[in-house]
A and B are shown apart, each in its own frame.
Chain A
Amino acid sequence: MRFAMPLTILGLTGAGIAFALLAGSYAHFILALVALTTVVGVGLNILVGLAGQVSLGHIGFYAIGAYATAILTLKGLSFWLALPLSGALAGIIGAALALPALRVSGPYLAMITIAFAFIVQHGTIEWRELTGGQNGLMGIMPPSLGPLAFAEREMAILSTLLAGLALYLFHRLAGSGWGKAMLAVRDSETAARSIGLNPVTTKTVAFALSALFTGLAGAIFAPLMMFVAPDSFPFSQSILFLLAVIVGGAGWVVGPVVGAIVTVVLPELLAWLAEYRLLLFGALLLVTLWLAPAGVIGTLARRMPRRKPDAGKPADIDLQSFLGRGASSALDVKGIGIAFGGIKAATDVSFTAAPGRITSVIGPNGAGKTTVLNMIGGFYRPQSGEIRLGAADLAGAPAWRVARAGIARTYQTTQLFGTMGALDNVLIALRRGRLGNPVKALDAPADRRAAAALLAFVGYRGAPDTAAADLAHVDRRLVEIARALATRPQVLLLDEPAAGLMRSDKAALSTLLRRIADRGIAVILVEHDMTLVMGISDHVVVLDAGRVIASAAPAVVRRDPLVLDAYLGSTAYARPRAAPWQGPGDPVLAAVKLRAGYGAAAVLDDVDFAVRPGEMVALLGANGAGKSTTMRAVTGLLRPVAGAIVLEDRDIVDLEAHRIAAAGVALVPEGRQVFPELTVLDNLMLGANTRRHVDTSAELNALLTRFPRLRARLANRAGLLSGGEQQMLAIARALMAKPRILLLDEPSLGLAPAMINELFEALADLRDEGITILLVDQMARLALTIADRGYVLESGRIVRAGAADELAHDPALEAAYLGHAEAEQ
């Protein structure tokens, strides 16, 4: 299996040479062009398939290679010297082009490469003394090797050999540390930096190598044609090169071969069409793209059974000495702070994370936990304070340097390198940014064993080469932790590792975290699952509104009234319904056995609930329990879902989101999501978008009386409003739709207490006016004071349902938020 690809390449090269020996001279020519296009394709494949960059300017490198060889050989230099020199020249220019190209992406990058192609083209036209101008350079003689003067057949063989070599080198590169690093940067630049990879380096190398291959191909093209002119390198050829890679299948070793055959041989087969050739060629390309959007090889590969991976080898390496690398030092965070556009996200945050201990950072949503992690990890530059690891102050250092200094991290939403296998994810991290020989396989046996051992250590039991994007949720978490450990960190930052995990997985996770700490690593944990946090932490730091409000042992923190208020909200200013709700029994909205999730991971598991006309129902639960997912499922933003969602008598489970909205479901989404560039008035009017014949002024007036703060700001851009005002606007906007039911997702999130008071006052008014409401809010106690009934979600299941006042005193509620008390022992 290991030699399958080299043998395939050898076979292809052999077939090419055999063809060259047997066929006539026209065929030689075509073969040479296929081979040269393959070489260019391989070059572009490095850029497109590995580094994930796009170039529409490769004809420029091709022309540079061709002209360099033409000029040098016409000046009397041997072709065999001119060839490498031309390649090197193209490579150097490629590296230089990488500098502007690195700062941009997407269409901006495409434009820079297009501009480059045009500059080269006009350069070849205008630099006449050197390039012969528009009419080009003629009389470029094919090389000779000893007594053998090259004719077309020999040129074809030379091109084929170069193509074979290029394919082989690509195969090796793709398996090497460099190739994997390029993939890693492409899949997640963020995560790549946090395992010590410098994206600037990998992208520059990708550009240079890509240009080098293209330049070499051009260098053979010149003597093959015996003539070069600017018109030999039209811009459209650039597009064809890129097309060859895409049609073949970007990232696949032999993709460029298929692409080259399609883009070179197909037009030849169509040559008899004369003036209609381009038309049909264009049409056939479209057909190919429609039939094989992932490229020919990519689409074929998807149909083939995946080969069975070799089972992971038993972990026979000494993880203790691998992970515990000498004396670890504590991480000292001293007074760090940062503000975004005047809003202080973190202020004067200090704590120490000692080696061998688990330090948890907790706090309600928006408290600034992830901001603090991002400052430690080098993604944000703190505006004040110090971050010390041993003697080094790392505040403001780039992420890849922080990673190399010994701080590893995981992410709230896993940032694995999706196209790479689980084992490869760990292997690339083992390098800590030192990528080694670009043609040597990444997986040296010792490294492979270490990576397998790490995977086993974190409890990953899946196949080692399953692509990370296809992993189950829990496995993604585990592999991400293994990858972080592979950098042999002194400090491990974990951002909500338990989010979305099943209870049994959480138990395993807490054991794992303890074992990691036991290896002498300082573990810093940001987590919402309080059972977990309280169970395993040695020290807990509580943040609220960007400040540390408590810093102590878990048992102490748990009883701190400040902390309890921050989490559950007080009930001080809410107004219950005057008389208990009574109404008809037929629900306005009901979910029946609702199942939903993102990708492979199921988030909702047989959720049932109902909201009756005029009723206010609260949906409660900790972060990650599935509340927002429920809201997205109901409103159609998340599809597909299983089960039924019934609005009055109609199943809306298959409707598109905008039709559900038109049917009378209005959601005030989490984070407000007002249209920031539109005025307050426009936002409100959009709320009535699905309705016709609206008495605008009367309705607006009524709303503005309800939310007087908005009246003065009617003409302002919504983005300029404060958080509380935006929340009012979002609610008012939803009310403009005159919905059958109003859904509210975390309306109190990130609001100041006075604002929350006003908000709940307004919600109580709505309730009293008979509007049907489904409310999701982390301020559970507060929500229950105004709601009639409630449901408690935990890990995607409804665990409690009942009247609001009963639920408010149910210990299950507190447990759902702050963890089960029994776990404390």
Chain B
Amino acid sequence: MLVVSAIISGLGLGSMYGLIALGFHVTYVVSNTVNFSQGSSMMLGAVLGYVFGIRLGWPMPLAILIALILCALFGLVVERTLVRPFAERGSNAWLMATVAGGIVLDNSVLFTFGKEPRGFPSVLATKPIDLFGAGVYPLQLVIPLAGLGIAVALHLALNRTRVGKALLAVVQNKDAAQLMGINVRLAVASSFALSTVLAGLAGLLIAPLYSVHSDMGTLFGIKAFAVAILGGITSAWGVMLAGLVYGLLEALVTAFFGSTYTQIVVFSVVIVALTLMPNGLLGRAAVNKV
């Protein structure tokens, strides 16, 4: 029973990490930069969903839609103001700039949304159901499915639609993509919008299991980055896989060895894994040409 519940917990959390981490992956492959305020983007999704859906009482689908649209907008702003001005000059100050952007967003939300954690009610997280002797909320089953579903949808969108293929073309060869008439700058900006939407979606999904507050994304952001790297940031499937591995590792270490050493063990595993596999689980080496 311990194992079953640990596995369910781990998979649920892991797919959450995986979703946010996919956001790191998307911007990295398209532009070689990442948005270090991913955790804040996740918080933004949850907070906006709460404000629209609960506080203002809009119908939930509408609230979620508007929240995600605003998340996308935030991604565009991040790219335009915090990443592009630096990345185009070849400076890596975007790293610091996105961190600072996250601080600004977190604190702005603190003063506008409020300092108290709020509960995000959901019918999917009120009554647990029994699964192999372990109780789970339906939402906990929805999350891995949604995680997987979104990953598959993303995969399909990239591989089956014109826009998706254009994005893949940019990933594989920027020059050639331009020769196909693809606007690479637009593609980069879209990748940031996509990445914040993924994070926002993760925030919305997890909010009913957790609570909504301005600080909720910080730790998730860091763990998701660890997941992105562990999986090999160049591989979408690697990132999702690493998310599950990471979540399972956390839950199983806690279940069998106690919570004392969870973080130490997990972060040590990250270091060891990267030492043995410098490009992550499924990542690909950057080609070194002489």
Residues of A within 8 A of B (CB): 54, 99-100, 103-104, 107-108, 110-112, 114-116, 118-119, 122-123, 126, 190, 235, 239, 242-243, 246, 275-276, 278-279, 281-283, 285-286, 289-290, 293-294, 370, 374, 379, 411, 635-637, 656-659, 661-662, 666-667, 669, 673-678, 682, 685-687, 689-690, 733-734, 737
Closest B residue, CB atoms, query A290: B85
Is there an interface contact between A657 and B179, defined as CB atoms closer than 8 Å? yes
Q: Could you write out 11 A-B pairs with CB less than 8 Å apart?
A: A100-B271, A112-B270, A122-B263, A190-B288, A279-B103, A282-B104, A293-B85, A657-B178, A658-B180, A658-B182, A685-B162
Q: Which residues from B are CB-within-8-Å of A733?
A: 180
Given A282-B107, A411-B290, A678-B165, A658 contacting B173 (CB threshold 8 A): no
Count of A-B contacts with CB under 8 A? 180
Partner of B180, one of A111, A122, A411, A686: A686
Is there an interface contact between B233 and A285, defined as CB atoms closer than 8 Å? no
Q: Which residues from B are CB-within-8-Å of A676?
A: 172
Is there an interface contact between A658 and B181, defined as CB atoms closer than 8 Å? yes
Partner of B28, one of A107, A275, A685, A690: A107
Is there an interface contact between A100 and B274, defined as CB atoms closer than 8 Å? yes
Is there an interface contact between A239 and B99, defined as CB atoms closer than 8 Å? yes
Is there an interface contact between B93 and A689, defined as CB atoms closer than 8 Å? no
Closest A residue, CB atoms, query B178: A657
Q: Which residues from A are CB-within-8-Å of B154?
A: none
Binds A, one of B6-14, B69-77, B131-139, B222-230: B222-230
Q: Which residues from A are CB-within-8-Å of B182?
A: 658, 686, 689
**Whole-angstrom distance between the Cβ of A361 and the nearest chain B Cβ:** 16
Given A282-B107, A689-B182, A114 contacting B176 (CB threshold 8 A): no
* Sample of 11 further A-B pairs with CB below 8 A, known A293-B93, A673-B176: A107-B28, A107-B233, A115-B270, A115-B271, A235-B222, A279-B110, A286-B97, A289-B96, A379-B290, A659-B181, A667-B179
* Measured CA separation A242–B92 after assembly (Å): 12
Residue B261 at the chain A interface, CB threshold 8 Å: yes
Residue B166 at the chain A interface, CB threshold 8 Å: yes
Q: Which residues from A are CB-within-8-Å of B268?
A: 115, 119
Main secondary structure of the interface of A (DSSP, over half): helix
Closest A residue, CB atoms, query B163: A689
Given A190-B290, A246-B93, A289-B96, A658 contacting B107 (CB threshold 8 A): no
Is there an interface contact between B270 and A279, defined as CB atoms closer than 8 Å? no
* Measured CA separation A235–B169 after assembly (Å): 38
Q: Which residues from A are CB-within-8-Å of B95?
A: 54, 110
Q: Which residues from A are CB-within-8-Å of B275?
A: 99-100, 103-104
Q: Which residues from A are CB-within-8-Å of B172?
A: 675-678
* Measured CA separation A281–B107 after assembly (Å): 10
Residue interface mask B209-248, A partner, CB < 8 A = 1: 0000000000000100110111001000000000000000
Q: Which residues from A are CB-within-8-Å of B230?
A: 111
Given A103-B278, A246-B96, A279-B108, A114 contacting B225 (CB threshold 8 A): yes
**Whole-angstrom distance between the Cβ of B200 and the nearest chain A Cβ:** 20
**Whole-angstrom distance between the Cβ of A48 and the nearest chain B Cβ:** 10
Main secondary structure of the interface of B (DSSP, over half): helix
Closest B residue, CB atoms, query A111: B229
Residue B264 at the chain A interface, CB threshold 8 Å: yes
Closest B residue, CB atoms, query A664: B181
> Number of B residues contacting the other chain (C-beta, 8 Å)?
61
Given A103-B274, A675-B168, A682-B165, A242 contacting B96 (CB threshold 8 A): yes
Is there an interface contact between B278 and A108, defined as CB atoms closer than 8 Å? yes
**Whole-angstrom distance between the Cβ of A616 and the nearest chain B Cβ:** 20
Residues of B within 8 A of A (CB): 28, 34, 82, 85-86, 89, 91-93, 95-97, 99-101, 103-104, 107-108, 110-111, 162, 165-166, 168-169, 172-173, 175-184, 222, 225-226, 228-230, 233, 260-261, 263-264, 267-268, 270-272, 274-275, 278-280, 288, 290
Is there an interface contact between A286 and B104, defined as CB atoms closer than 8 Å? yes
Is there an interface contact between A114 and B107, defined as CB atoms closer than 8 Å? no
Residue picked from A115, A243, A662, A687, most chain B C-beta under 10 Å: A115
Is there an interface contact between B229 and A662, defined as CB atoms closer than 8 Å? no
* Measured CA separation A504–B26 after assembly (Å): 49
* Measured CA separation A674–B181 after assembly (Å): 14
* Measured CA separation A370–B290 after assembly (Å): 9
Closest A residue, CB atoms, query B275: A100
Is there an interface contact between A115 and B179, defined as CB atoms closer than 8 Å? no
**Whole-angstrom distance between the Cβ of A255 and the nearest chain B Cβ:** 13
Complex A-B, nearest 10 residue pairs according to Cβ-Cβ distance, in ascending order: A690-B181, A282-B103, A657-B178, A279-B107, A661-B181, A100-B275, A111-B229, A115-B267, A282-B104, A673-B176
Is there an interface contact between A108 and B274, defined as CB atoms closer than 8 Å? yes
**Whole-angstrom distance between the Cβ of B10 and the nearest chain A Cβ:** 19
Given A279-B107, A637-B178, A666-B179, A686 contacting B260 (CB threshold 8 A): no
Is there an interface contact between A283 and B233, defined as CB atoms closer than 8 Å? no
Is there an interface contact between B169 and A293, defined as CB atoms closer than 8 Å? no
Is there an interface contact between A243 and B176, defined as CB atoms closer than 8 Å? no
* Measured CA separation A696–B246 after assembly (Å): 45
* Measured CA separation A4–B237 after assembly (Å): 55
Q: Which residues from B are CB-within-8-Å of A682?
A: 165
Q: Which residues from A are CB-within-8-Å of B173?
A: 673, 675
Closest A residue, CB atoms, query B289: A190
Is there an interface contact between A104 and B274, defined as CB atoms closer than 8 Å? yes
